Amino acid sequence: MSVRYVPVQWTRNKWVYDAVLVVCVAVYVLGFIWSGNPAADATRPVDGAIVRMRAWGSCAFLMLTLVLCIGPLARLDARFLPLLYNRRHFGVLTALVAFSHAAAVLGWYYAFSPTPAWEAVLTSAVGWDRLAGFPFEMLGVFALVILAALAATSHDFWLSFLTPPVWKALHLMIYPAYAAVVGHVALGYLQDVGNPAFPGVFVSGALAVAGLHLAAWRRGPAAPAAAWIPVPGWRAIPENRAAVVRVGPDERAAIFRIGGALSAVSHACAHQNGPLGEGRVIDGCITCPWHGFQYRPEDGCSPAPFTEKIPTYRLKLEGGEVFVHRDADPPGTYQAPLVLPAREAAA
Amino acid sequence: MTAEAWLLLGQVWVWIGLAVAAVLVLWGAGAAEENARGAWAFRLLLVPGAVLLWPLVALRLGARLRGEAPGLAAHRPPRRAQDGAALLLALFVPTALGTAMAIRQDGPRHAAAVLLEAPEGSGEASGEAGASE
């Protein structure tokens, strides 16, 4: 919540999450190197240095694939929500692993020439006009720059300073970065490898990212047309939970049922634009499933001493149906909860 | 552009970025963000982001210091852009994989070895080379 910034807001869960991540990365990289003949000298087709750069590179690809799968998985099935928690640390560690891959490449392929390493990378990038022989290294450089920018702007300060939509738009660059990584591997390693094991994992992972995003996109709510938009299935909203209604091209309202009444607030958390409507009401406050930011349902304000506010929406009951107005009220605007008839409130 | 020109451009970018980062860390962060006032330890983490994205940082710092508030726009995440990016990625991945497999050429170690006939006249040349060793 809104408190004085610290470098990292550690909690016990974050320690556990990060410890598991670091152990998994260490086990994977060391296991890959150990199983790949790390002592092979430069006379072998795959020597020890190449094994190490492949260990870091494949680890970075798998981590990036997992990071990108978590979002749509959590949208499709709430049981994956705990994976979403602390995903930023996952992303930062992925960038560090990718940098280790780049350092291993620079320290081998570009290390034995009087030409500075980065200058050698740029001057050797030829063949842009063909696919076979395309300078796939530059796709990796492009992805690395994006991963660096995203990791460097992962602190909460950037979210508030840039505003959530700008921050979110910046972090959408993860999609072109992943596309570049797919191209980097497909036009590089995949052109040369004989063992089908990693190509199988690579193709499966990349297709899983594509398929999950497609599935999550298809589940999105439909676009509205009128000023007052019906809330389908409002009778089935469980107590302390919400239904999400699309009220504009980029806007969604979360309609919560709390104690026999309905309240509508923005679906986007003020913190990271997390999906508030997928959260629940805890201690009388709507609680974001991503990082636990809380808001009062009637006015969208965080309880004191916190200062976050989200927009609220008007609700009305007409002809036995509930409608939400498509225009949001300014953040923190009080809206009296829509008290349901006794028959509906008990449902 | 040559490699040297790109590297020079990168160096200029980093030097300007460091100047913007110094302004942000020493003064701008506290001036623009209430939660940053009196908090110094975290500001070192801002340096890499400010160096990489200094034009955006300079623009936002100016807007924040002029008191421009994002209003309701702050609660409108770019969902259409995200949907579009996800769809493009979903289309790109299988296309890229299919193309990569289609252009793949089996290397020499995957094909059976073939004994080539020596080109005419090469016997003399190699004989001469051998004699000189």
Please confirm whether the linkage preceding A305 is cis (ω < 30° from 0).
yes
Helix axis angle, A136-152 relative to A164-171, nearest 10°? Answer: 160
B98 vs B125, more confident: B98
Alpha-carbon distances, residue A218 vs A221, A269, B77 (angstroms): 8, 22, 18
Q: At A5, give phi and psi (nearest 5°).
A: -65, 145
> Min CA distance, B115 vs chain A (Å)?
22
User: Closest by alpha carbon to A277, among A259, A260, A261, A257?
Assistant: A257
pLDDT recorded at residue A250: 67
Q: What global pTM score does this model have?
A: 0.77
Calculate mean pLDDT across residues A206-231.
79
CB atoms A311 and B72 under 8 Å? yes
Residue A122 to residue A117: CA distance in whole angstroms: 9
User: Closest by alpha carbon to A210, among B100, B95, B87?
Assistant: B87
CB atoms B90 and A213 under 8 Å? yes
pLDDT digits (tens, 9 = 90+) for A94-104: 999 999 999 99
Number of CB pairs < 8 Å for A and B? 185
DSSP secondary-structure letter at B121? T
pLDDT recorded at residue B133: 38
Chain B, 66 to 105: residues with Cβ < 8 Å from chain A are 70-83, 85-94, 96-97, 99-101, 103-105
What is the percentage of chain A residues whose pLDDT exceeds 90?
42
Reported as a pLDDT band with limits 50, 70 and 90, residue A345 is low
Beta bridge partners of A295: A286
pLDDT digits (tens, 9 = 90+) for A278-314: 888 999 999 988 778 899 999 999 998 888 888 999 9
Asked if residue A240 lies in contact with residue A257, where contact means CB atoms within 8 angstroms, the answer is: yes
Strands A312-313 and A242-246: unpaired
Residue A40 to residue B82: CA distance in whole angstroms: 45
> Min CA distance, B42 vs chain A (Å)?
4
> Min CA distance, A210 vs chain B (Å)?
4
pLDDT digits (tens, 9 = 90+) for B38-93: 888 899 999 999 999 999 999 999 888 887 766 666 666 666 788 888 889 889 99
Question: In the numeric block, which tokens belong to residue A135?
Answer: 């300078």
Strands A312-313 and A261-266: antiparallel
